[in-house]
């Protein structure tokens, strides 16, 4: 039977990496280092870390295959670059009336539900695109985007596959 101290240490060991990643992402998005922001970030990241028990991990460990840390860093930098690039393109095309809304389905070559969720959220974060529906069992995401009239669904899928899916398919050790 484990003592209370051993259980607490195991609890912290299992969750500190997730907490640190969430806190780093908090500071990256907030870009504000006032004491209120720091305390709010610690509190919110702590609550989210505890709330993800039985969703991302259980007593045996994480419930999904981990993505390499290097891949996560490259992906986050790439995502922010794509967000800023797309925002300028989106504003220009919106003002110029070059694009129209298009809805299409994309079947991903990723089986992990967590990775499908990351791709779905990345699409929504990119200006001019939004994920309408996600079916993690069939690996299908329904996307609405702004596109030139007459563009095929295959052409619209290509950037998603190249930008988001390709990076996350490189799974490996932590």
pLDDT tens, position by position, 63-109: 666 667 788 788 888 888 888 888 888 788 778 877 888 899 999 98
Domain locations in the chain as residue ranges: 4-62, 69-168
CA distance 71 to 81: 15
Residue found under tokens 């007593």 = 59
Mind listing the pLDDT tens digit for each residue in 150-165?
888 889 888 888 888 8
For the cut 60, the answer to whether the pLDDT of residue 57 exceeds it is yes
Q: Is 50 helix (H, G, I), strand (E, B) or coil?
A: helix
CA 76 to chain centre: 8
Q: Check pLDDT > 90 for residue 141.
A: yes
What is the three-class DSSP state of 147?
strand
Q: Which residues contact 107 (CB under 8 A, 6 or more apart)?
A: 138, 139, 140
Pick the closest to residue 101 from 150, 35, 131, 146 (CA basis): 146
Closest Cα partner for 67 from 129, 117, 127, 137? Answer: 117
Query: What is the reported pLDDT for 63?
Result: 62
SS3 for 155? helix
Q: Are 82 and 163 in contact (CB under 8 A)?
A: yes
**Cα 128 from Cα 131, distance rounded (Å):** 11
């Amino acid at each position: 039977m484990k003592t209370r101290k051993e259980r607490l240490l195991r609890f912290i060991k299992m969750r500190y990496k997730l907490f640190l990643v969430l806190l780093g992402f908090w500071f990256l998005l907030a870009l504000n280092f006032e004491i209120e922001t720091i305390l709010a970030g610690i509190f919110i990241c702590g609550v989210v870390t505890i709330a993800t028990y039985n969703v991302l991990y259980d007593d045996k460990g994480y419930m999904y295959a981990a993505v390499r840390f290097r891949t996560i860093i490259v992906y986050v930098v790439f995502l922010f670059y794509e967000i800023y690039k797309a925002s300028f393109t989106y504003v220009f095309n919106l003002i110029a009336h070059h694009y129209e809304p298009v809805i299409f389905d994309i079947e991903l070559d990723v089986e992990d539900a967590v990775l499908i969720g990351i791709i779905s959220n990345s699409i929504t974060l990119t200006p001019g695109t939004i994920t309408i529906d996600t079916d993690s069992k069939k690996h299908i995401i329904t996307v609405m985007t702004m596109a030139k009239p007459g563009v095929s669904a295959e052409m619209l899928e290509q950037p998603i596959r190249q930008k988001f899916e390709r990076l996350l398919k490189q799974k490996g050790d932590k």
